Structure 1
């Protein structure tokens, strides 16, 4: 991958242009033709570097309730339990990690349902396995932006933008028209000169109306970002670790802000602790090796003045997809 493709990846991860001809805008900032931008993105998709370019929603703003869940699964039941959990459409990620609670998955329940009841049902199907439901109490950072730049690329790199909002300040109206927009723009953006126009035509609306809606939803946090999502491993990030700390409650906001300031951290949350699980501060870090992740975790711990922590690496990926909202057609 050359410098131009790396800078292109950096830009479309951070801020994709919400305009009628976004690829032309990108071409002007990179000093290449629109055709070359389209060709480069096509190649990056074919080589599985780019998973997709789309809206990334704040699911809570759309009425969904989500949580991280840790389940204690005996070794002999791993395959069956993973199949049961993965069958639920609201499960987007599922990993095997070390420890008693070894199956970790993220789950979203649609409006009108509770995460706890869905998890209880899944647990019952998996022979009543114990589970920890760990919803976010407070979100400090949600922004997966992988540093793909190398020495010499920074002259073309854009100034880093502020972190996207973690919460919405506007109520989503679940009208049939709005739901249709969500279901459309959560898919991969068409690789044509006027992609939003293609989406607008399929929705029976004017392009300027769709652009205005997307921009408004981004402004108010209904859409957290509109950006490219990359395959971590294809750009060299072959290790990711979930770091967990037992943080004093009177210091948790301070510590969370420190964690969120580190570029290696993509997600950072305050989650509930319990008798079986005393950890309440979580951060996902991405690195090119487990050793690099371990070094970052140690720096985070020292910067926040904490001590009691673990880093849990995933040893197996059972499921990793983009969550499809309104899968029930409601």
Structure 2
């Protein structure tokens, strides 16, 4: 059963998932754009956050542009040990998403590590501590699509704008002021008037809200920030079925076949990831969100028919162990490395 939202809530949810224009007071600008009184806007957002529809409002950064390495990692762990393994994995500061899935590789998580450190070293330490029988580091070899909006009400699904690809010195964070801007912009935006001023005050730092907004817009232009937007808890927004699918495709037809998946409005993330011959040979990963199990099955079936691909895996989430935003430029990474990476 789909949740019931008022027309005003639908308007807010469909807009706030898209890239928000940054200003000294982002909510004031958003209220003016939507034709709402700012107090009404803030009250509705508070209601939607209290109902766990809006998960958070913050910057979505490119880990690569910040100098971090990131990857999807899959562990093969005995079923009875999965929960304890997840607890160990979740304690790593670079783990954002972590799920139990129905496959031999049953724990799937995303992992980010700071500049100068190797994903393989971190994953290897975690694998040993979890007693994993095998593990895969499935790096993003090419990104085709990321961040489709979850349409609420009668709105049509749409793609989130893709930021410029990072590259070159100007497309990395420069100096202490920009590092400070990252730490502020990655924090969940308080639902108050003048929220950037509140963020700085809560952190005990000094940064002019206008300068913070200007720096954020510069991050977007340079491909450092993908967008500044709300992330919804998809189940509570009406999308109660989802699956990570992995497809085996002939290399010679990649461009042709990928276009089939790119056009599907229900696919929120689409990547080509690392192949491990004999261990993992399904490199095209497509994350699909739907409003029901029946709709999900129909979407997957339609993709198989249109692409002609019949060798694919449907990896449904059996349990969500963690879903959070990685907090970059924090001391937690150094503490974890000092404790577990010494001698690696």
With normalisation by structure 1, the TM-score equals 0.91
| Conserved? CA contact 1:14–1:145, under 8 Å | yes
Between stretches 204-213 and 166-175, larger displacement belongs to 166-175
Does the C-alpha gap of structure 1 residues 197 and 310 become closer, same or farther in structure 2, counting only changes over 3 Å? Answer: same
In structure 1, the gaps of 5 or more residues are none
Q: 1:296 aligned to 2:294? A: no
| Conserved? CA contact 1:294–1:311, under 8 Å | no
Structure 1 residue 216 displacement after superposition: 1.0
| Conserved? CA contact 2:73–2:137, under 8 Å | yes
Q: 1:311 aligned to 2:314? A: yes
Aligned to 1:208: 210
Question: CA RMSD of the aligned region, Å?
Answer: 2.1
Between stretches 320-329 and 104-113, larger displacement belongs to 320-329
In structure 2, the gaps of 5 or more residues are 335-344
Structure 1 residue 128 displacement after superposition: 4.7
| Conserved? CA contact 1:256–1:269, under 8 Å | no
Structure 1 residue 301 displacement after superposition: 2.6
Q: 1:44 aligned to 2:42? A: no
Q: Secondary structure at the match of 2:242?
A: strand
Q: Secondary structure at the match of 2:310?
A: coil
Aligned to 2:6: 2
Q: Secondary structure at the match of 2:49?
A: helix
Q: 1:75 aligned to 2:73? A: no
CA distance in 2, matches of 1:161, 1:282: 17
**Which residue, 257, 271, 274 being the options, matches 2:273?**
271
Q: Secondary structure at the match of 1:283?
A: strand
Structure 1 residue 292 displacement after superposition: 1.5
Instruction: Describe the superposition over 1:17-62 as per-residue Cα deviations: whole angstroms up to 9, x where unpaired.
Output: 2123332332233332111111111111111111111100001111
Between stretches 6-15 and 119-128, larger displacement belongs to 119-128
Aligned to 1:164: 162
Structure 1 residue 261 displacement after superposition: 2.5
Instruction: Describe the superposition over 1:188-224 as per-residue Cα deviations: whole angstroms up to 9, x where unpaired.
Output: 1122232234446654233332222110111121001
**Which residue, 87, 106, 110 being the options, matches 2:110?**
106
Q: 1:247 aligned to 2:249? A: yes
CA distance in 1, matches of 2:86, 2:174: 32
Superposition pairs for residues 1-330 of structure 1, below 5 Å? 1-150=5-154, 154=155, 163-165=161-163, 167-169=165-167, 170-173=170-173, 175-199=175-199, 203-274=205-276, 275-328=278-331
| Conserved? CA contact 2:75–2:132, under 8 Å | no
With normalisation by structure 2, the TM-score equals 0.88
CA distance in 2, matches of 1:48, 1:190: 15
Q: Secondary structure at the match of 1:15?
A: coil
| Conserved? CA contact 1:181–1:203, under 8 Å | no
Structure 1 residue 160 displacement after superposition: 5.2
Instruction: Describe the superposition over 1:257-305 as per-residue Cα deviations: whole angstroms up to 9, x where unpaired.
Output: 3322322111000011222111010010111222211211222233333
| Conserved? CA contact 2:18–2:160, under 8 Å | no
Q: Secondary structure at the match of 1:82?
A: helix
| Conserved? CA contact 1:236–1:288, under 8 Å | yes
CA distance in 2, matches of 1:64, 1:254: 31
Structure 1 residue 242 displacement after superposition: 0.5
Instruction: Describe the superposition over 1:155-198 as per-residue Cα deviations: whole angstroms up to 9, x where unpaired.
Output: xx8x9576323732443135332222111110111222322344
CA distance in 1, matches of 2:92, 2:26: 35
Q: Secondary structure at the match of 2:10?
A: helix
| Conserved? CA contact 2:239–2:291, under 8 Å | yes
Between stretches 72-81 and 7-16, larger displacement belongs to 72-81
